[in-house]
Amino acid sequence: MVVIMKPGYTEEQINNAIKEMERGGVNVMISHGSETTILGAEGNAAGIDIEKMQALPGVERVMRVSEPYKKANRKYHPDDSVVEIAPGVKVGGRKLAVFAGPCSVESEEQITGIARSVKEDGACALRGGAFKPRTSPYSFQGLGYTGLDLLEKARMATGLPVVTELMSTDDIDYFVEHVDVIQVGARNMQNFDLLKRLGKINKPILLKRGLSATIEEWLMSAEYILAGGNENVILCERGVRTFESFTRNTLDLSAVLAVKQQSHLPVVVDPSHASGQAWMVERLSLAAIAAGADGLIIEVHNDPIHALCDGQQSITPDQFKDLMGKARQIAACVGREL
Ligand code: PEP
Ligand code: MN
């Protein structure tokens, strides 16, 4: 349930409204938006007397919220959320955020070289996996902690914040200290222990959509993190599994619109994992911006043929530069900037 306060409500009126909700057995979340102040019920609102609530002075309207996600719900928080991933680097809002870098960190020259080049072309953060969730145990598993060290070197060389995937709850403290944005991969979207622990920290979390997760399941996973108290959640649409096998996954751009309507959280699109094919990445990126995404996360490799992971879907730094030029034009058409 949400209670929308009238413009100009008094301190006493809002306190009374909060008390009435608490008497009904819920915790109350207050959202001071640009236009309205909203009281959101956290927990089971069945004990609240709607009619009584509605009649309270200062209360404009009371709405039942049928969706199971509350903190992630736009009804509880009408204004767009903006997540600051490093001083002055924001995801959400008018300016688009582009994260770029290789699938996996491979060496210092590789990661620092790519970081320098994507920064020059306008990326706001560097991606690179150190702990890789591979389908086969015989495939390259990432450089682990060494990879995190190399990401820090690349950050030092360029100033770019780094985003990298966390797979184990054992590593949370280490990631908090060494990483700017913690990625939860598609395969871990419903690792609820991991999500609960990430709710207890303050780091920005990039939450990828699960391999075949519905939009509601995805938002419920975000809810786990938000419910724990961490409000810095960025969603990432990375394609879902369908009957189609031409592409690695099927990019669900309608999910971007749905999530922007249902939730206040920023959403970025990963055209690389969605398509699995480098030649599709540029057009899908442009389409994502046109669809209203708040940014992109793109795999860029200096030598895709020899990449240790996901070379077939990685674009080169030159292709990234071209893409960014076009992305700026599409951004301007939809009232955004890059
Ligand atoms: C990745 O970003 O490298 C990755 C493994 O992505 P996903 O979890 O979306 O498959
Ligand atoms: Mn990858």
Q: Which residue has the least CA distance to atom 1 on ligand 1?
A: 103
The reply to whether ligand 1 has any atom less than 6 angstroms from the CB of 186 is yes
Q: How confident is the model at residue 23 (pLDDT cuts 50, 70, 90)?
A: very high
Query: Of 238, 169, 158, 157, nearest to 197 (Cα)?
Result: 169
Counting residues of the chain whose pLDDT is more than 70, the rounded percentage is: 100
pLDDT tens digits, one per residue of 70-94:
999 999 999 999 999 999 999 999 9
Whether residue 227 is predicted with pLDDT greater than 90 in this model: the reply is yes
Total-model pTM: 0.96
From the CA of 68, how far away is ligand 1's center (Å)? 27
Q: In ligand 1, which atom is closest to the CA atom of 270? A: 9
Name the β-bridge partners of 38. Answer: 4, 31
Query: Of 327, 321, 318, nearest to 296 (Cα)?
Result: 327
| DSSP state, residue 170 | G
The reply to whether ligand 1 has any atom less than 6 angstroms from the CB of 301 is no
> Residues 233-241: what's their mean pLDDT?
98
Residue among 183, 209, 240 whose CB has most ligand 1 atoms within 8 A, to mutate: 183
Average pLDDT, the chain: 97
Whether residue 34 is predicted with pLDDT greater than 90 in this model: the reply is no
The reply to whether ligand 1 has any atom less than 6 angstroms from the CB of 273 is yes
The reply to whether ligand 1 has any atom less than 6 angstroms from the CB of 139 is no
Distance of alpha carbon 80 from alpha carbon 94, whole angstroms: 10
> Which residues have C-beta within 8 Å of that of residue 311, sequence separation ≥ 6?
103, 301, 304, 305
pLDDT on residue 336: 98
Distance of alpha carbon 122 from alpha carbon 289, whole angstroms: 15
Nearest ligand by distance to the CA of 276 = 2
The reply to whether ligand 1 has any atom less than 6 angstroms from the CB of 129 is yes
Whether residue 235 is predicted with pLDDT greater than 90 in this model: the reply is yes
Nearest ligand by distance to the CA of 209 = 1
b/e sequence 222-250, b meaning 16+ C-beta within 10 Å? bbbbbbbebbbbbbbbbbbeeeeeebbbe
Distance of alpha carbon 70 from alpha carbon 220, whole angstroms: 9
Distance of alpha carbon 163 from alpha carbon 181, whole angstroms: 5
The reply to whether ligand 1 has any atom less than 6 angstroms from the CB of 155 is no
Distance of alpha carbon 129 from alpha carbon 309, whole angstroms: 10
From the CA of 257, how far away is ligand 2's center (Å)? 24
Residue among 273, 297, 312 whose CB has most ligand 1 atoms within 8 A, to mutate: 273
The reply to whether ligand 1 has any atom less than 6 angstroms from the CB of 208 is yes
Q: How confident is the model at residue 278 (pLDDT cuts 50, 70, 90)?
A: very high
From the CA of 238, how far away is ligand 1's center (Å)? 8
Distance of alpha carbon 114 from alpha carbon 139, whole angstroms: 23
From the CA of 281, how far away is ligand 1's center (Å)? 15
pLDDT tens digits, one per residue of 121-174:
999 999 999 999 999 999 999 999 999 999 999 999 999 999 999 999 999 999
- Whether residue 164 contacts residue 128, with contact meaning beta carbons closer than 8 Å, is answered with yes
Query: Of 129, 114, 113, nearest to 309 (Cα)?
Result: 129
Nearest ligand by distance to the CA of 165 = 1
From the CA of 272, how far away is ligand 2's center (Å)? 7
> Residues 168-192: what's their mean pLDDT?
98
Distance of alpha carbon 179 from alpha carbon 160, whole angstroms: 11
- Whether residue 17 contacts residue 52, with contact meaning beta carbons closer than 8 Å, is answered with no
- Whether residue 88 contacts residue 159, with contact meaning beta carbons closer than 8 Å, is answered with no
How wide is the angle at C-alpha 181 spanned by C-alphas 259 and 147, nearest 5°? 130
Q: In ligand 1, which atom is closest to the CA atom of 238? A: 9
Q: In ligand 1, which atom is closest to the CA atom of 187? A: 8
The reply to whether ligand 1 has any atom less than 6 angstroms from the CB of 185 is yes
Q: How confident is the model at residue 61 (pLDDT cuts 50, 70, 90)?
A: very high
Helices (H), the chain: 11-23, 50-55, 108-120, 145-158, 172-178, 192-199, 215-227, 253-262, 271-275, 278-290, 317-333
Whether residue 43 is predicted with pLDDT greater than 90 in this model: the reply is no
Give 78-113 as a DSSP string: -SPP-EEEETTEEESSSB-EEEEE-SB---HHHHHH
pLDDT on residue 35: 87
Distance of alpha carbon 24 from alpha carbon 113, whole angstroms: 58
Distance of alpha carbon 45 from alpha carbon 21, whole angstroms: 8
The reply to whether ligand 1 has any atom less than 6 angstroms from the CB of 133 is yes
Q: Which residue has the least CA distance to atom 6 on ligand 1?
A: 185
| DSSP state, residue 48 | S
Distance of alpha carbon 163 from alpha carbon 208, whole angstroms: 12
